Each structure stands twice: as C-alpha cells, then as structure tokens.
Amino acid sequence: MYDSTASTGSFVLPGGFTNTEARTIYTVYYNLLDITDSAVPTVITYGANALSDSVANSFITLRQQAWAGDNNFLLARRTGGNGAGIAGSTPGVNVATFGLNGAGNMFITTNNGTVATDSAVVMSLPHERIAFNSPNANSSHVRTLIYRGYHDATTRAAISRYLGNKYGALVA
C-alpha cells in the first residue's frame, strides 16, 4: 500500500482505508540511545492528522522509552491514552510491527517477538498522514511499509525477518 524511505517530515498517504479497517505497519529504525528515562520521543506518528494530540484515538505514535542499562521500551501509544509496549529492545537497528487488528485495537511487536495488544479502546484511524521524526542525533528512520489488513503471525514474522536481514536488524 505504501513504502517509504523518507527520513523526516510529514506525508499525506494515498486513500483506501476506512476509519477502523485493519492495517499493519512495518518500520525499520535505529534505537534512540541517548534519551533519558523520563523522555518518550516519538519515532513515527500515523493517523488522521499526525500533528496534534488533541483528538482522542485519531492517531497512534511509535515511541521509545529509555530504561536503565542498554534496554529500551518501545511503545505504540494511542492518542490521549496508554498504549501497548514491548520491552527489551537492544541497541542497533530494529524492526517494529504495529497498527490496528481486525477488531480496531492497536497492536505492536518488535524483532519478531511477542505481540502486545491494547484492547481497551477501538481506534478511529483514517488512512491519511504519516510523520517521521528525529528526536535526537542518534535516531534514524530507515524504512516503513504500510499494508492493508492485520497480518497473521507467520506473515509478520516473514516480513520482519526479511527487513531485518536486508537492513541489519537484530531479527532471527
């Protein structure tokens, strides 16, 4: 549906999704290694306008939270609320998979690991805009693919391995 290697900026996407239609987003990114424990920088924002945090459940953000040691915590956060998170993201390039499942709930996984789902809120997420950010000098978006539908575990694993092998991510 959409394939981007853009580094930063906000981009309008071609149409095609209804508000709660399932979709899967794969992104390859470099970890953010120099952020503090209290900072949660945004890596990618996707949804209705991708630029405002004022309209509840109109977009989701992919963010990375630093913790002690060399681990980070990757979050897919819904607008104005909590999100699903994956711990144990280690330094280096990573592949994250996130989006909406068939029920309209947000999900996330990284490096072909365990899938976490935030089932508290059904998202209203038109297919309109994606924004890539660089919160600090060590962050870098590599590539993002957006697909129709909620991919099953086998498909997610295959694409995650392909992207990981192509870009040197920590994916088996």
In order of start, what are the domains of the chain with their CATH numbers?
Answer: 2-167 (2.60.120.200)
Phi-psi region of 6 (alpha: psi -120 to 50; beta: other; left: phi over 0): beta
Low-confidence ranges of the chain (pLDDT < 70): 16, 32-40, 49-55, 66-72, 80, 88-91, 127, 134-139, 171-172
Q: Which amino acid is at 16?
A: G
CA distance between the termini of the chain: 26
Confidence (pLDDT) at 57:
76
